[in-house]
Structure 1
Amino acid sequence: MLNALRPRSWKVWIIGTLLMILAILTKVFHWDERALLWWQEHNTSSDQRAETIWLPGYTAIIQAKPLADLEHAETSDIAYNPATGSLFIVTGKKPLLVEVSLTGDILRRIPITGLSNPEGVVVLGGGHMGIVDERKRTLALFDLDIYTESLGPQDFKFFDLGFADAGNKGFEGVAWDQRQQRLLFSKERDPAALFSLSSDGTNILGTLQGMDEHSHLMNDYSALSIDPRTGHTLVLSDESHLLLELDEEGRPVSFISLIGGLNGLSTSIPQAEGVAIDEAGTVYIVSEPNLFYVFKKSS
C-alpha cells in the first residue's frame, strides 16, 4: 500500500514545486500586474487609445544600429531637442555629449569634464540642458549652442539631488515636463522610485518630491521621457525589458516588451539605458554599449 502511494506523493511534490516556482517568477517578473494591464489595454476603446501614446501599436524600424566609435564610451541616455530636430546622447564611461540625427548618425561630439558618471540627459528648451551625475548625485544645468565644443565645471550650475548612500543605484533618468513646469527623475533601484522637482527651465525651484507609484511592473527604472503631445511619461526598464506609458497621475496606460520576436525586434535589446520621444510620437532607445533603436506607430 505504501508503494502505491509513492507515485501520487511524487506527483503532489512535483506539482507543489512547480506552483511555488511559478509564484516566485510571477512575483519577480510582475506577471500578474502585466496580465492585468494587458487586459486593461485589450478593453481600451479606439477613442481612448487616440488620447495616449499607445505603445502596443509601435514597431521597431531601426534596430541595433551601432553608434560609431561609442562602444568604449558606453551610451547612458538620450533626449530629443525640438529646436535642432536632433537627438543628444550622454555617455558614462567616457563622458561625452553626442548629437546624432534621427536615424542615429553622429553629428558632433562634445567632451565633458567635471562629471564622474553622467547617466541622464534632458533638454529644457531655449538652449538649456541638464545632465544627471549618478555617482555625485547632482543635476548639472548648462547652456548649449552650435558653437559649443566642450563642457567643463565652469559651464555647469550644480544642484544636489540627495540620497548620499545610494552609491551606483542612484538617479539615472531625467525628463522635462513642460506642461507642469517640473523635472522628473527616476532612481534606478533599491528601491526604484520616481520624483519631481519644480523648475522654470533655467533654475531649480523647491525641493525634490516623491511621486505616487501606481505601478510595480518593473524591477528598475533606467530612463524617462515626456511625450509633448499628451504629457504622458515613458519609463524604461533594462532588467524587466519593458517600456511603460504612465498618464499624468502616474497610472499605467500601456506597455511593450523589448524582447526579441515582439514589436518588430529580431533580438532582445541587450541593455536598454535611454529613451526619448519627439513631437511626431517616434520613440528612440539607446542600449549599452552603443546600440540605437527607433520605434514608430504602425498604421
Structure 2
Amino acid sequence: MVDRAFAYAISAMQPKSAQRAQPSLPDYRVRVEARSLDGLAGQLSGLASDAGHGRLWAVADAPAELLALNTDGQVLSRHPLDGFDGVSGIASLGDDRLLLVEKGRHTLVVMPAPQAPDEILRRHGRQALRLELPNSDQAVEGIGYDRAGDRLFVVQGHAPSHLYEVRGLRAGLEGRAEVQLIDRAAWIGDKFVARDFAAVKYDARTGHVLLLSNASRLILELDDQGRFVAYQPLAAGFAGLHETIPQAVAMSMDDERNLYVASTANRFYAFEPD
C-alpha cells in the first residue's frame, strides 16, 4: 500500500519541469468516490472516454458486456457482447468506432459504437487482428490508443507486467501492412514503485503514457521517452479519497484530463484537476 513516506520519496524523483506542468497527475481531487454499478453479473475490466458524446464506454467480463456510462458513473445503456472471449480492455478509435481486446486470444476487434439502447454486439464478421506477443501464455490486461500517431499501447501479464507499443494499427487491421511491435520493457523495468500494471492510457494533450498499478495503488505518468513524470496515489488521504481504492482494474482520461477509475466490486471513481 502507498503510504505518505513512500509518496514523498517518489515525489523527489519527479523532474522540476513536470512539477510546473498544469495539471499534472498529483493535482487531482476525487469528485465521485466508490459509486456502485449495481446489477452487473460480470466484473468491469476496461474504460474508455468517448469525448465526442461526453460519456464513457466500459467493458465487463463473464458475461462479456459493453456499457455506456455518464461521467458520474451512472449506466446509460447495456449491450451484450456475443461471441467474445475474455474482454479485458477497450479504446476509442474515433468516428464512433471502438476497439476491444480479448485477453487470452490477444485479439483486437473493431466494433461500431451501438446506436440502440439494448443493441447486441456480435463478434462474427468484425474486423480483427491477432497480436503476436512474445509472452503468448500471459493475458492482455489493457490497451491505450494514440489516434494521431496510430499507435496502440498494450499492457500484458502480471508481476512483472510487459508494455508494448503497436505501430501502424489501422493498416494492420485493414490487412494492408504488418503492424510493428516494439517492446517498451525499458520504460517500466526501472520503475521500482510499480511493476504490476492493470491498464494503460495515452494522453493526447501531453503525449504521455499513464499506467495503472493495482498492487502499488497508484497511476504512473511517463513521457514519450519512458521517463518518470508524475504519479497519482489511489490510497486514502490522497486526492480527497476517504478510503483506499481496493483493487483498481481500469482507468481512462477525457480531453479535459478528468480521470476515471474502476475497481473490483464494480466501483466507479471520478477525479477532476484540483
Q: Which amino acid aligns with 1:86?
A: R
Q: Secondary structure at the match of 1:83?
A: helix
What's the CA shift for 1:276? 0.5
Q: Secondary structure at the match of 1:191?
A: coil
Equivalent-residue separation in structure 2 for 1:81 and 1:202 (angstroms): 23
Q: Does 1:40 align with 2:10?
A: no
What's the CA shift for 1:120? 0.5
Q: Which amino acid aligns with 2:11?
A: W
Q: Does 1:192 align with 2:168?
A: no
Equivalent-residue separation in structure 2 for 1:97 and 1:114 (angstroms): 13
The C-alpha deviation readout for 1:210-238, integer Å capped at 9, x for no partner, is 12325423131101112221121111011
Q: Is the 8 A contact 1:74 1:290 kept in 2?
A: yes
Q: Identify the residue that residue 75 of structure 2 maps to in structure 1.
A: 106
What's the CA shift for 1:178? 2.1
The C-alpha deviation readout for 1:98-148, integer Å capped at 9, x for no partner, is 000011111111101222211000101012211111122211122224248
Give the length in aligned residue pairs: 265
Q: Does 1:210 align with 2:179?
A: no
What's the CA shift for 1:152? 1.6
Q: Identify the residue that residue 130 of structure 2 maps to in structure 1.
A: 160
Q: CA RMSD, aligned part only? A: 2.5
Q: Which structure shows the higher strand fraction?
A: 2
Q: Does 1:77 align with 2:46?
A: yes
Q: Which structure shows the higher helix fraction?
A: 1
Q: Secondary structure at the match of 2:12?
A: helix
Structure 1 residues 38, 290: closer, same or farther in 2, change over 3 A? same
Q: Secondary structure at the match of 1:260?
A: coil
Quick check: 135-144 or 288-297, which moved more? 135-144
The C-alpha deviation readout for 1:239-288, integer Å capped at 9, x for no partner, is 11111111111211000211112221111111101110011110000112
The C-alpha deviation readout for 1:138-192, integer Å capped at 9, x for no partner, is 111222242481112225322212348654x421110111232211111132531
Q: Secondary structure at the match of 2:21?
A: helix
Q: Does 1:173 align with 2:142?
A: yes
Q: Secondary structure at the match of 1:154?
A: coil
Equivalent-residue separation in structure 1 for 2:202 and 2:106 (angstroms): 22
Q: Is the 8 A contact 2:210 2:219 kept in 1?
A: yes
Q: Secondary structure at the match of 1:55?
A: coil
Larger radius of gyration: 1
Structure 1 residues 126, 57: closer, same or farther in 2, change over 3 A? same
Structure 1 residues 106, 155: closer, same or farther in 2, change over 3 A? farther
TM-score by length of 1: 0.80
Q: Is the 8 A contact 2:143 2:200 kept in 1?
A: yes
Q: Which amino acid aligns with 2:80?
A: P
Structure 1 residues 203, 146: closer, same or farther in 2, change over 3 A? farther
Q: Identify the residue that residue 63 of structure 1 maps to in structure 2.
A: 33
Q: Identify the residue that residue 12 of structure 1 maps to in structure 2.
A: none
Structure 1 residues 47, 159: closer, same or farther in 2, change over 3 A? same
Q: Is the 8 A contact 1:75 1:288 kept in 2?
A: yes
Q: Which amino acid aligns with 2:36?
A: P
Equivalent-residue separation in structure 2 for 1:58 and 1:191 (angstroms): 28
Structure 1 residues 110, 164: closer, same or farther in 2, change over 3 A? farther
Structure 2: state its 5+ residue gaps: none
1:273 is aligned, of 232, 249, 253, to 249
Q: Is the 8 A contact 2:18 2:229 kept in 1?
A: no
Q: Is the 8 A contact 1:75 1:287 kept in 2?
A: yes
Equivalent-residue separation in structure 2 for 1:203 and 1:120 (angstroms): 19
Q: Which amino acid aligns with 1:85?
A: G
Equivalent-residue separation in structure 2 for 1:108 and 1:144 (angstroms): 12
Q: Secondary structure at the match of 1:68?
A: coil
Q: Secondary structure at the match of 1:281?
A: coil
Equivalent-residue separation in structure 1 for 2:155 and 2:5 (angstroms): 23
Structure 1 residues 47, 266: closer, same or farther in 2, change over 3 A? closer
Q: Is the 8 A contact 1:222 1:237 kept in 2?
A: yes
1:228 is aligned, of 177, 183, 204, to 204
